[in-house]
Chain A
Amino acid sequence: MVPVQWYLLLAAAVFCIGLFGILTRQNALLFLMSVELMLNAANINLVAFSAYWGNVTGQTFSLFTMALAAAEVAVGIGIILVLYRNFDDVDVTTAAEMRW
């Protein structure tokens, strides 16, 4: 079977692409999409090890993280709505009131 390092590398790459998105994106919705990417990278990791050790724990766990991701997006979209109402813009760099 495929050596597990490739799966891990893939997961790491997806994670870092998601991280890149978080660090550079200005639009709040795209920010949320990058967060989703990072969550999915973790899921890839879990499933890879489930296949490696022959244990379904990893796959079951990844189902739960998916459910959690959905819940988190629901609340996140609500927050972006409120952000838009208050700042008239979904740009995360304009909402910088809590500063020194």
Chain B
Amino acid sequence: MTTKPELRTGSHLLPGLAAVALFVVIATVILRASFGDPQGFAADAPITASIGYAMFDLEMGAVPGESFLVAFEIIDAVLVAALVAAVLLARREQDGEVVALLTDGGREVRDRLRESEDTEEGER
């Protein structure tokens, strides 16, 4: 007999009222605000091409936009940094020697295995 997962309800849901209150406030503000006339895009405007041109500071896009080259380069750097950070956080060390998340392509494991083979042969 299995039990289905139950939705946990209880007093721990009380802080969620803050989120509801925030939604009410934001909704009120939005509904009372007035916006200017919508411009919208032309029917056959090349939007994706314009996004690409805008991203590399090339002014050839039909739809207007700002230049994002610097942001592009920075995001590149951020992603690399995030990758390195993730790997670093995931390493596990025991007595100074890395035990999990090896980054040498399996060389260490192969050497360890070879060592144990040699000793076994030596014993025999």
Contact = CB atoms under 8 A, between A and B. Distances in A.
Looking at chain B's contact residues, the main secondary structure is helix
Contacts of A82: 89
A4 B13 CA distance: 32
Interface stretch (B75-83, B103-111, B113-121): B75-83
B1 interface: no
Contacts of B75: 64, 67-68
A87 interface: no
B26 to A, nearest CB: 4
A72 B13 contact: no
B16 interface: yes
Main secondary structure of the interface of A (DSSP, over half): helix
A75 B71 CA distance: 20
Interface of A: 1, 4-5, 8-9, 12-13, 15-17, 19-20, 23-24, 26, 51-57, 59-61, 63-64, 67-68, 70-72, 74-75, 77-79, 81-82, 85
12 contacts: A16-B19, A16-B22, A19-B22, A53-B38, A59-B47, A60-B51, A63-B51, A64-B68, A71-B78, A71-B82, A74-B82, A75-B82
Interface of B: 12-13, 15-16, 18-20, 22-23, 26-27, 30-31, 33, 35, 38-41, 47, 50-51, 54-55, 61, 63-66, 68, 71-72, 75, 78-79, 81-83, 85-86, 88-90, 92
